[in-house]
Structures are given as C-alpha cells and as structure tokens.
Amino acid sequence: MSAGTVYVPSAWAGEAGEPAVAYDSLRALLESGTVAAPSALCVDEPIDDRLLALVPSGCLLSFPGTGVWDLVDVDRAAARDVRVSNVADYGTDAIAEHTFALMLAVTRSLPRADRRVRAGLPPPEVWGTTLASRVLGVVGLGAVGRRVARIGAAFGMRVLATARREDSARWAAEAGGVHLTPLPDLLERSDVVSLHLRYARGDRPTLGAAELASMKPTAILVNTARGGLVDLTALTEALARGTIAGAGLDVFEPEPLPAGHPLLALDNTVLSPHVAAGAPEVRRRAVAAALGNARDFVRSRSTVDVPR
C-alpha cells in the first residue's frame, strides 16, 4: 500500500506532479487498498457516504472550494477520522462581482435588450429599474456576503442583512450602513435578495413557497451560493406567476438543470452555469491552495479543517 501520497483529479494532471485519478475511477482506487494513511485525495466532486466509507482513516479529503458541506458529510468524515479541508476566501471578489453582474442583468433586462437589438426592434420608452436607493437584502455575512454588502452600499443601496455568527454581527456593527434584521423582515423589505449561506446536504431550503410569497412582487432574487438554498419548484412557480419579478441564478438543485425544465422558458430570469468563481486566475488559486493543503498534510499532518 502507498502511504503518504497525494492523489489529484485527472483535470489537474497538467498542474501537479502527483498521481492523477479520474472521478469515476476513485471508487476502484479506494477498493484496491492502494490508498493508505496519511495520504490525501484532492477532489472537486461530491463524496457520498458510500464512497466516504472507503476512504481510510487518517487520510485527507482536500477540496478546491469554500462550500463543501453539500459535497461531503463533514461530521461523518470526522467520526471516521477522515480530515476534510477547504479553501477559504479564494474567490470572494469573483463571486461578489458575478452576483452584481446577475443583479444588473436582471434589473436592467439585459438579455431581452440584447435580443431586441439583434432583431432590429426599436427601444421601448421605459426599460429596467435602477439599484440606487433600493433595498438590498444580504442573507449571510461571510466573506462574499460582506463584499456584496459593501458593493451594494457603493451603488447607493440601503443594505439589510442576516448574520448567524457572532463575528458577522460584529462586522456589521463596525462596518456601518449594514442593518441586521431577521430573515422574515429582510424578505418583506428588500428589493433585491442575495443569498450567501452555506448549505449542507439534506438541509431544508432557506427559501420555500412561503418565504418567496413574503417578498415584494417587484423584488428579484440572486443566488450565487448553493442551489439547495431555494426550493426550485416554488421559485419557478413564483417567477411564472409574478409573485416576484425576476431572478439571477448561478446555482441550481438539481445541477445541471434537466433539459426542458420550466425555469428555462421564463424570460424574467438570467441563468449561468455555476461559474461565479470560474475565472481562470481564481480557479488556479483554488487548485494551488487545495494542493498545498494536501501536501502539507502528507508532510506533517498539518492542514486547516473545514469548520463544522
């Protein structure tokens, strides 16, 4: 058996000298008994409970992203003495920028405007809405949520936010201009609701039919966090009925969206394929950090574990 080895996804083979393994071959590798502690597996695909059960105790799963709670059961891994590491804050700017790209595309109806130009249609007399002086509701004040709050304030928006952690509440108090409020109040008052929460496999959606119904009919929803935070069926119905005015979505549950999904037929949505953190330089940082965590672990058992 090979102890103290770093394994990487096949897609990383050109960026690392470690043994590469395709995701669909990972089960066979683990079943072969080749992997032994203190080895590290760099993975950027879900690790279900059956696959996790094959990972030897004393090994590391190193993910090249921040939100891993829907990719692996972190508590179950800890109970089996399998370490899990993520990469914090590697794509904060990129995700915050993509959040506002979606926000602007929806509020200014940019996809429809583009289609009108290409079809040679004249401009309408009234088109889109502005962000200045509107209310931005930031659900979750982690690194990305904080950056979105600051950008919203720079746009002249009034910023409401929810905060689950003490450090987030402290940041809001020190930042100024960010007003903490419970989620029901935020949903009722916001013109734009932007989601920035962690999501663990099996969690109840933060926004279901009742929460969406409590939003303004003129409001829009932006989600660059995780698709499972929103009940997709309820959201599709709300958008189709005009319960809310629009949505900008980078993530979905399920993902990718199945062909023919009714959300795809709606013209009050702007959709992107989970690419908020996909800029090449951002991806390189994430891969390099995940590799660094894996190599440090193999050398000295040193790594930064995902908080539970």
Residues tagged active-site: 226, 255, 274
* DSSP element (H, E) containing 27: helix 26-31
Burial of 206 (0-12, 13-18, 19+ CB in 10 A): buried
Query: Which DSSP letter does residue 222 get?
Result: E
DSSP reduced 3-state for 271: strand
Could you give the CA distance from residue 230 to residue 220 in angstroms, rounded to a whole number? 13
Could you give the CA distance from residue 286 to residue 168 in angstroms, rounded to a whole number? 24
With left for phi above 0 and alpha for psi between -120 and 50, is residue 120 left, alpha or beta? Answer: left
* Cis amide bond preceding 280, omega within 30: no
Could you give the CA distance from residue 151 to residue 305 in angstroms, rounded to a whole number? 30
Q: Using alpha carbons, select from 289, 266, 235, 238 the residue that is nearest to residue 90.
A: 289
Report the 10 Å Cβ neighbour count for 299. Answer: 11
Task: At 82, list the tokens.
Answer: 């399998």
Could you give the CA distance from residue 172 to residue 87 in angstroms, rounded to a whole number? 24
Spell out the alpha helix ranges (H) of 69-225.
74-79, 92-107, 110-119, 143-154, 166-175, 183-189, 209-213
